[in-house]
Structure 1
Amino acid sequence: MTSQTPPQRITKSYVDRLSTPATGQAFVRDTELKGFAVRVTSSGAKSFILEKRIDGKVKRLTLGRYPELTVEQARKEAHKLLGHIAVGRNPAAEKKQEALQGTTLKKAFDDFVKTRKNLKERTLYDYRRLMNVVFTDWQDKAMTSISKDMVSKRHNKIGSERGEAYANLAMRFLRALFNFAIAQYEYGNGHSILRENPVMRLTQTRAWYRVDRRQTVIKPHQLTPWYQAVISLKQDPISSQSALVADYLLFLLFTGLRRQEAATLKWSDIDLDDRSFTLKDTKNREPLTLPLTDFVFNLLQSRKAVENSEYVFAGEGKAGYLIEPRRQVQKIIQLSDVSFTLHDLRRTFITIAESIDISAYALKRLVNHKMTNDVTAGYIVSDVERLRKPMEQISIQLLRYCKVDEEKKILQFPIPRHT
Structure 2
Amino acid sequence: MTSSQTPPQKITKSHVDRLSTPATGQAFVRDTDLKGFAVRVTSSGAKSFILEKRIDGKVKRLTLGRYPELTVEQARKEAHKLLGHIAVGRNPAAEKKQEALQGTTLKQAFDDFIKTRKNLKERTLYDYRRLMTVAFVNWQDKAITSISKDMVAKQHRNIGAERGEAYANLAMRFLRALFNFAIAQYEDGSGNAILRENSVIRLTQTRAWYRVDRRQTVIKPHQLAPWYQAVISLKQDVIPKHSALVADYLLFLLFTGLRRQEAATLKWSDIDLNERSFTLTNTKNREPLTLPLTDYVYDLLQNRKVEASSEYVFAGEGKAGYLIEPRRQVQKVIELSGVSFTLHDLRRTFITIAESIDISAYALKRLVNHKMANDVTAGYIVSDVERLRKPMEQITAQLLQYFKINEEKKILSFPIINNT
Q: Same fold (TM over 0.5)?
A: yes
Report the residue type matching 2:126 in the other structure.
Y
Greater CA deviation, 353-362 or 199-208?
Answer: 353-362
- Give the equivalent residue in structure 1 for 2:249: 248
Q: Which residue of 2 aligns with 1:415?
A: none
Q: Which residue of 1 aligns with 2:295?
A: 294
Deviation at 1:326, TM superposition (A): 2.0
TM superposition shift of 1:236 = 2.1
TM-score by length of 1: 0.93
Runs of 4+ in 1 over 6 A off after TM superposition: none
Instruction: Summarize deviations over 1:271-294 as a string: whole Å, max 9, x none.
Output: 001100011121122111111011
- For the 8 Å contact 2:49–2:75, the answer to whether it is kept is yes
2:234·2:240 contact (CA, 8 Å) conserved in 1?
Answer: no
1:162 corresponds in structure 2 to 163
For 2:335, the equivalent position in structure 1 comes to 334
SS at match of 1:51: strand
For residues 130 and 264 of structure 1, do their structure 2 counterparts lie closer, same or farther at Cα, with a shift above 3 Å needed? same
Q: How does 1:147-158 map to 2 (within 5 A)?
A: 147-158=148-159
SS in 2 for 1:339: coil
Taking the TM superposition and a 5 Å limit, the aligned residue runs for 1:99-110 are 99-110=100-111
Question: Which residue number in structure 2 is paired with residue 202 of structure 1?
Answer: 203
TM-fit CA distance, 1:352: 1.0
Residue 404 of structure 1 deviates from its aligned partner by 7.9
Partner of 1:343: 344
> Which 10-residue stretch deviates more, 354-363 or 93-102?
354-363
- 249-258 or 112-121, larger mean C-alpha shift: 112-121
Q: 1:4 to 1:239 in 2, by over 3 A?
A: farther
Between the aligned residues of both structures, percent identity stands at: 88
Counterpart of 1:11 in structure 2 is 12
Amino acid at match of 1:124: L
Task: Confirm or deny that 1:227 pairs with 2:228.
Answer: yes
Q: Which residue of 2 aligns with 1:78?
A: 79
* Aligned-pair CA distance for 1:379: 2.6
State the 1:240 CA deviation. Answer: 4.7
- Measured in 1, the distance between the counterparts of 2:66 and 2:325 equals 50
| Partner Cα distance (1:394, 1:327) in 2 | 28
- Whether the 8 Å contact between 2:259 and 2:344 is mirrored in structure 1 is yes
Q: Do residues 42 (structure 1) and 47 (structure 2) align?
A: no
User: 2:395: which partner in 1?
Assistant: 394
Partner of 1:187: 188
What is the one-letter code of the residue matched to 2:342?
T
Unaligned regions of 5+ residues in structure 2, if any?
A: 407-420
User: Residue in 2 aligned with 1:413?
Assistant: none
SS at match of 1:237: coil
Distance in 1, matches of 2:153 and 2:196, equals 18
In structure 1, how many angstroms separate the alpha carbons of the residues matched to 2:363 and 2:380? 13
Deviation of 1:234 (Å):
2.2
- 1:331 and 1:6 map into 2 onto residues whose CA distance is 82
Moved more, 315-324 or 334-343: 315-324
Please list, as runs of the form range in 1=range in 2, the aligned pairs for 1:16-165 lying within 5 A after superposition.
16-165=17-166
**Relative to 1, partners in 2 of residues 1:240 and 1:105: Cα closer, same or farther, differing over 3 Å?**
farther
Shift of 1:334: 2.0
Aligned to 1:237: 238
Q: Equivalent residue of 1:31, what SS?
A: coil
Q: Give 1:384's aligned residue.
A: 385
SS of structure 1 residue aligned to 2:120: coil
- Residue aligning to 2:359: 358
Give deviations 1:376-419, integer Å, cap 9, x for gaps.
Answer: 322322111111111111111112222389xxxxxxxxxxxxxx
Q: CA deviation at 1:239?
A: 7.5
Q: How many residues align?
A: 405
Q: 2:326 & 2:69 partners in 1: Cα distance?
A: 53
3-state DSSP class of the match of 1:61? strand
Q: Say yes or no: does 1:258 pair with 2:259.
A: yes
Residue type matched to 1:369 in 2?
A: H
Tell me the distance in 2 between the aligned counterparts of 1:225 and 1:115.
Answer: 48
RMSD across aligned C-alpha pairs, in angstroms?
Answer: 1.6
Give the Cα–Cα distance (whole angstroms) in 2 for the partners of residues 293 and 76 of structure 1. Answer: 81
Letter in structure 2 aligned against 1:190: G
Contact 2:25/2:43 (8 A) holds in 1: yes
How big is the shift at 1:8?
2.6
Partner of 2:173: 172
Query: CA deviation digits over 1:333-367, x for unaligned, max 9?
Result: 22222111111000000111111121222111111
Q: Return closer, same or farther for 1:239/1:2 CA change in 2, 3 Å cut-off.
A: farther
Give the CA deviation at 1:76: 1.8
SS in 1 for 2:175: helix
Superimposed CA distance per residue, residues 82-131 of structure 1 (whole angstroms, 9 cap, x where no aligned partner): 12112211100100111111111111111111221221111111111111
The amino acid across from 1:106 in the alignment is K
SS of structure 1 residue aligned to 2:236: coil
Q: Separation in 1 of the partners of 2:87 and 2:250?
A: 73
Q: Which amino acid in the other structure matches residue 274 of structure 2?
A: D
Tell me how far apart the structure 1 counterparts of residues 13 and 56 of structure 2 sit (CA, whole Å). 32
Is 1:215–2:216 an aligned residue pair? Answer: yes
The answer for the alignment partner of 2:412 in structure 1 is none
Shift of 1:312: 1.0
Q: 1:256 to 1:198 in 2, by over 3 A?
A: same
Aligned partner letter, 2:210: Y
| Partner SS state of residue 286, structure 2 | coil
* Greater displacement, 197-206 / 230-239: 230-239
More divergent stretch after superposition (249-258 vs 219-228): 219-228
| Equivalent AA in structure 1 for residue 66 of structure 2 | R
Tell me the equivalent position of 1:281: 282
1:241 match: secondary structure: helix
Looking at structure 2, the residues matched to 119 and 180 of structure 1 have their Cα atoms a distance apart, in angstroms, of 14
